[in-house]
Amino acid sequence: MMFDPLNGVLLIPALAACLLAVLPGYRLTARLNMLAAFLTFATAVSLFVVEPAPGLYLLVDDLNKVFIVLTTFVAFSTSVFSASYIDHEIEIGRLKLSYVRFYHAMYQVLMFAMNLALVANNIGLMWVAIEIATLTTVLMVGIYRTHEALEAAWKYFILGSVGIALALFGTILIYMAARPAIGEGLNAMVWTVLIMHAPKFDPALLNVAFVFLLLGYGTKVGLAPLHAWLPDAHAEGPTPISAVLSGLLLNVALYALLRFKMILALNPIALAPGPLMVTMGVVSCVFAAFMLYRRRDIKRMFAYSSIEHMGIIVFAFGMGGPLANFAGLLHMTMHSLTKSAIFFAVGHIAQVKGTQKIADMGGLTVTHPVLGWGLVLGVVAIAGLPPLGIFMSEFLVISSTFSRAPWLVMILVFGILVALGGLFMQLNRIAFGEPRGPAEPAQASYVPMFTHLAIVLIAGIYMPPSLVAGFQTVAKLLG
Amino acid sequence: MNGLTFDIAHMLAGSLVVASFLQLYQDRLSALINVFAVHAMVLALSVAWQAYIQDAPHLYITAVIALAFKAIIIPVALRRIVVRLGIHREIENVVGVGLAMLFGIGLVALSMVVMLRVTAEADPLAREDLAFALSVVLLGLLLMVTRRNAVSQVIGFMSLENGLVLAAAGAKGMPLVVEISVAFSVLIAFIVIGIFLFRIRERFDTVDIQAMDRFRGERR
């Protein structure tokens, strides 16, 4: 049988997970984890060359290709960072060896689940994949077994489960709405079939279904006021998992939401999904921006920054239209890259300082110049200053929507500016001023962090025309 | 649609809502677990009846899973956990029983109003089923938010999932994938929860969620 890249992105992580679950020794398994992640990434890239035809269960189209490549890339670089991070955690005895085996296996299961959610052509299968992804991250957030970690994992588990339960109810309602038009059976859950028949669905059922889906998957996206699990889960788990959560899992949930939005948008009588998303987006952005100021924990602070940016992205997709969708897609990509780079830096910073409390770290640019300036660069990027990529995408979000909803956009800009102030105030305490805390040299892997930041920088200055064209196709697809 | 088959389906789904209400005012854990077992049994009956009237044999599997797993294995295991932790007599309620019941009635009314209005064109059986299922889901949520104890939150979550299974069974011809996945996810959820409960016990010496709040990083 010919090797199919579509099966590849699922099989490689699945096999790697089985292998890593039985292999002892963390150095070897960390390398294997990297290798598996790299192979998955390479396979994902090859999807651009060979595009398999959609089946009843799996599908590859222009929309999810972007998501898959981004996911597998960040997953790969995070596995590189994770190797050196875990190394240090074992050295200081924070993580037991038996847990490390579990950690690596779970990492690959998570990759499998996220890829499955992205390539699923069946809305039931997609739901199952997101549920698996949630459960694995719950287990990983609780891996340190401290009071805080367990509380965070429990909270995440309960809120996440309620979220996906609501999403399942929404999925069932979509099936009910589609059944009269498509007929009973598997076809009424296949996304490619759904989208063809969407105009004939029962609009009232679709409306209720979308509300449930928005609340359900919106919890996973971390939209305010459903975000309560997010800061805890980011702060208490291992930092590579914070990077994956912020950079990838939120996107996967957003992807699910976008798929359903496309179905709704095609039905002329159903309510427009846009305004709901726009409202939640603006609220998340402004709320999270204010929350940045009083944070005492560095990872918690960047978790709130993720909520802010997911708000901006959901706002852009909610406004819709080719331009705003393009901006949203670009912003999502830039945010994933930048935020994971920041978490790479934060992970090592927390390790050298032995704490996550902002009050106990200071003068990083003096004591650890590379880490410190890396963080400064990351925060400058995430705050949206030129010439980095996020400035570009935020500018596009604002300029493409301003004429349609000037007041809303002004509120959004206000949120972005408030966030900028908060980020710089905190950055000033962390990176500059009198050095505080231990000043041991860091044993860090800087490559993943600076690779991400370099991509963000280049994207802010010059975007290759082929990439722009690709994004434009996807943006049109989103409607 | 035969009048009697419809009535039986209606009655079983309605009983599930009643069982949800029974859960709301149980203030002792062992009693709550018993009521959950009844809840799961009613669900199994209801799903089996749906399998019979829809002529969908795969639904029998879902019914059997609900019966064996949720009505027998989980309650037995939970009871053992509760006894081992020495909390089977514990009484806990965040809001009063009366208030919780009033909220519950409000939620049922809400789901009736929403679902019956929305599904005006669907066939009557699916309609009623969906409305009842949403009530059960919402009552499960209510149970979760009114309880502090980790075990009762878990039971709230499982009765919420029962509502989802009822909805999936009522949706005629819904592919097998989903039923299995629902049952399967409950299984995983339970394993996860089991691990958590023991870990929580190790660390906190109590399963009261409020004890955990003290360890929060931000507020002090």
Instruction: Return the pLDDT at B179.
Output: 56
Higher pLDDT: A116 or B203? It is: A116
Residue A478: phi and psi, rounded to 5, are -75, -20
At A176, list the tokens: 């009910």
A128 to chain B, any CB pair closer than 8 A? The answer is yes
* % pLDDT > 70, chain A: 99
Instruction: Return the pLDDT at B204.
Output: 46
Residue A338 CA to residue A140 CA, distance in Å, equals 22
B220 to chain A, any CB pair closer than 8 A? The answer is no
**Nearest chain B residue to A291, by CA:** B218
**Nearest chain A residue to B138, by CA:** A166
**Of residues A275, A331, A324, A308, the one with CA closest to residue A413:** A308
Asked if A452 and A345 count as a contact pair (C-beta separation under 8 A), the reply is no
ipTM (interface predicted TM): 0.86
B210 to chain A, any CB pair closer than 8 A? The answer is no
Higher pLDDT: A35 or A23? It is: A35
Determine how many CB atoms are found less than 10 A away from the CB of residue A237: 25
Residues 6+ apart with CB under 8 A from A172: B164, B167, B168, B171, B174, B178
Residue B132 has pLDDT above 70, yes or no: yes
Asked if A202 lies within 8 A of B173 by C-beta distance, the reply is no
Q: Which of A124, A176, A295 sits opposite B181 (nearest CB)?
A: A124
> Mean pLDDT throughout B101-126?
85
Q: Over the stretch A250-259, which tens digit does the pLDDT of each residue have? A: 999 999 999 9
Residue B56 CA to residue B218 CA, distance in Å, equals 52
Q: Over the stretch A329-384, which tens digit does the pLDDT of each residue have? A: 999 999 999 999 999 999 999 988 888 888 888 888 888 889 999 999 999 999 99
At A333, list the tokens: 């990509």
Residue A379 has, within 13 A of its CA and on its CB side, a CA count of 27
Asked if A150 lies within 8 A of B173 by C-beta distance, the reply is no
Instruction: Report residue B203's pLDDT band, with 50, 70 and 90 as the boundaries.
Output: very low
B181 to chain A, any CB pair closer than 8 A? The answer is yes
Instruction: Report residue B220's pLDDT band, with 50, 70 and 90 as the boundaries.
Output: very low
Question: CA of A41: how far to CAs of A46, A70, A329, A341, B152, in Å?
Answer: 9, 9, 20, 18, 43
* % pLDDT > 90, chain B: 21
Instruction: Return the pLDDT at A209.
Output: 93
Residue B23 CA to residue A234 CA, distance in Å, equals 34
**Of residues A167, A393, A396, A336, the one with CA closest to residue A259:** A167
**Nearest chain B residue to A188, by CA:** B174
**Of residues A390, A373, A238, the one with CA closest to residue A306:** A390
Beta bridge partners of B149: B208
Residue B4 CA to residue A477 CA, distance in Å, equals 49
Asked if A189 lies within 8 A of B192 by C-beta distance, the reply is no
Instruction: Report residue B169's pLDDT band, with 50, 70 and 90 as the boundaries.
Output: confident
Asked if A205 lies within 8 A of B209 by C-beta distance, the reply is no
B120 to chain A, any CB pair closer than 8 A? The answer is yes
> Mean pLDDT throughout B61-71?
83
pTM score: 0.91
At B61, list the tokens: 């599997």
Asked if A478 and A262 count as a contact pair (C-beta separation under 8 A), the reply is yes
Residue A357: phi and psi, rounded to 5, are -75, 130
Residue A246 CA to residue A231 CA, distance in Å, equals 10
Q: Which of A154, A165, A232 sits opposite B161 (nearest CB)?
A: A165
Residue B178 has pLDDT above 70, yes or no: no
Q: Which amino acid is at A187?
A: N
Asked if A150 lies within 8 A of B218 by C-beta distance, the reply is no
Instruction: Return the pLDDT at A257.
Output: 94
Residue A325 CA to residue A257 CA, distance in Å, equals 14
| Contacts with B, A 2-21, CB within 8 Å | none
Residue A139 CA to residue A144 CA, distance in Å, equals 10
Asked if B137 and B163 count as a contact pair (C-beta separation under 8 A), the reply is yes
| Contacts with B, A 206-225, CB within 8 Å | 207-208
Q: Over the stretch A225-249, which tens digit does the pLDDT of each residue have? A: 889 899 999 999 899 999 999 889 9
Q: Which of B122, B150, B217 sits opposite A300 (nearest CB)?
A: B217
Q: Which amino acid is at B111?
A: S
Write down the residue that tokens 């990529």 correspond to.
A389
Beta bridge partners of A357: A297
| Separation in Å, CA of A174 to nearest CA in chain B | 10
Instruction: Report residue A1's pLDDT band, with 50, 70 and 90 as the boundaries.
Output: very low
Asked if A329 and A474 count as a contact pair (C-beta separation under 8 A), the reply is yes
Asked if B171 lies within 8 A of A179 by C-beta distance, the reply is yes
